[in-house]
Amino acid sequence: MTRLLETATVAETRARIAEWRRGGDRIGFVPTMGNLHEGHLSLVRMAQARADRVVVSVFVNPLQFGPNEDFDSYPRTLDADRAALTELGVDLLFAPDEASFYPRPREATTRITVPGLGDILCGASRPGFFTGVATVVAKLFHIVQPDLAVFGEKDYQQLLVIRRMVEDLDFPVAIIGAPVCREPNGLAMSSRNQYLSAEERARAPLLYRTLCRLGEALQAGRRDFAVLEAEGVQTLAEAGFRPDYLSIRRPDLEPPTAADRAFRLLAAAWLGERTRLIDNIPVVSS
Q: Give catalytic residues, as residue numbers.
A: 40
CA distance 56 to 189: 19
CA proximity to 98, closest of 145, 65, 147: 65
Give yes or no for a contact between 252 and 259, defined as CB atoms under 8 angstroms apart.
Answer: no
Which amino acid, one-letter code, is at 59?
A: F
CA 237, CA 255: separation in Å to the nearest integer? 24
Using DSSP bridges, classify how beta strands 92-94 and 53-58 pair: parallel, antiparallel or unpaired: parallel
**Cβ-proximal residues to 89 (8 Å cutoff; 6+ apart), any chain:** 1, 2, 48
